[in-house]
Amino acid sequence: MPNDSIIETRALSKRYGCKLALDRLDLAIPRGRVHAIVGANGAGKSTLFRILLGFMPPSAGEARILGKDSQQLTPQDRARIGFVNEEHTLPGWMRVSQVVAMQRHQYGRWNQQVFDGVIGHYHVLPEQKVGQLSRGERAGFNLALALAQKPELLVLDEPTLGLDVVAKRAFLESLLYSNAADDCTVIYCSHQMEEIERVADNLIILERGQLRHMSAPEEFTARVSHWVADVPFKGPDPRTVPGLLEVQRLDGLHHYLVLDQDHAFEQFLRASGARTVQSMPVSLDRAVNAFLAKHHAAPAAA
């Protein structure tokens, strides 16, 4: 495999019993920038991270991180990879200053300025015990620790899960305004599309363990269009609607969210009896949700 990707998987599969968490995943994430990975629960994101960090062997295929086999990572490799999980697992019995001292000893490239810069966004005192920090403060502290390690790759696995609006904003600002984040590749995994819209340069959509899409977020948004049509009666059979992601009938109007449709779709609607047709852009949140909901499991009768 070439080494120009910071993360690269080839035909990566992971099976839990009779269920495939990763299904021959081919993924190549280039160095630099912020890459957002989204996917419904069970899409295989956590499994992917565990395999990439060497905490789980793949059932088949290859996974490389920083150009190395993910199952052969050395302590020196781990120093180059920062990881922040949604639980912000930190030793709650230690004081903030003690945790900082421990990390400073362990990470040779520790940058105190970066730490101070990030932690400045929070009202965290060195003598405070980690267990006494609020969830938002713990998230910020965890981010500060991870960035101060000066990693080449920073993996943020749903870091704002469970945070309130203020804490989320503080977290994102501390990430965006830190120079350290500019120097490394950031993998940002989240269900919060407004966050992804704000931070991500690249959007990666996983579904059922497979790569479904990878592009800039705005490119993905551009692929999804929202059409409102005044169609009498039931409208066209959904099975015949090209690129259909979602259809709703509101106030007598049919709302179609479709993928990769141009103006020909208007002709389709008109040919199906639409009296008026209107197209409008969609938000990333709505586009991703519709995209993921399309293949979501549903009862046979649905």
Q: 166: part of which helix (H) or strand (E)?
A: helix 165-176
Which of 280, 293, 230, 223 has the alpha carbon at shortest distance from 41?
A: 293
Residues in the chain: 302
Under the binding rule (CB under 8 A), the answer on residue 280 touching other proteins is no
Which residue, 198 or 294, has its beta carbon nearer to other proteins? Answer: 294
Which of 31, 50, 135, 270 is in the footprint of other proteins by CB under 8 A?
A: 50
Q: How far apart are the first and last CA of the chain?
A: 43
Supply the DSSP symbol for 300.
Answer: T
Residue 26 dihedral angles phi and psi, to the nearest 5°: -110, 115
Task: Please give the structure tokens belonging to residue 232.
Answer: 């009498």
Among the residue ranges 50-58, 113-121, 214-222, 258-266, the one whose residues contact other proteins (CB under 8 A):
50-58
Which of 1, 3, 60, 182 is in the footprint of other proteins by CB under 8 A?
A: 60
Please, what is the minimum distance in Å from the beta carbon of residue 50 to other proteins? 7
Under 8 Å between Cβ of 70 and 53: yes
Which residue, 123 or 295, has its beta carbon nearer to other proteins? Answer: 295
Under the binding rule (CB under 8 A), the answer on residue 294 touching other proteins is yes
Under the binding rule (CB under 8 A), the answer on residue 297 touching other proteins is yes
Please, what is the minimum distance in Å from the beta carbon of residue 158 to other proteins? 11
Q: What x-and-dash track marks residues 106-125 binding other proteins by CB under 8 A? A: xxx-----------------
Among the residue ranges 98-106, 190-198, 213-221, 222-230, the one whose residues contact other proteins (CB under 8 A):
98-106
β-pair type (60-65, 5-16) = antiparallel
- CB proximity list for 63: less than 8 A, separation 6 or greater: 7, 8, 9, 12, 51, 52, 69, 70, 71
Under the binding rule (CB under 8 A), the answer on residue 13 touching other proteins is yes
Supply the DSSP symbol for 109.
Answer: T
Which of 42, 98, 169, 286 is in the footprint of other proteins by CB under 8 A?
A: 98
Which of 54, 51, 45 has the alpha carbon at shortest distance from 72?
A: 54
Supply the DSSP symbol for 74.
Answer: -
Among the residue ranges 173-181, 238-246, 263-271, 280-288, the one whose residues contact other proteins (CB under 8 A):
238-246
Query: Which residues contact other proteins by CB under 8 A?
Result: 13, 15, 20, 23-24, 50, 53-57, 59-60, 75-76, 78-79, 81, 83, 85-87, 89-91, 93-94, 98, 101-102, 105-108, 208, 238, 244, 246-248, 293-298, 300, 302
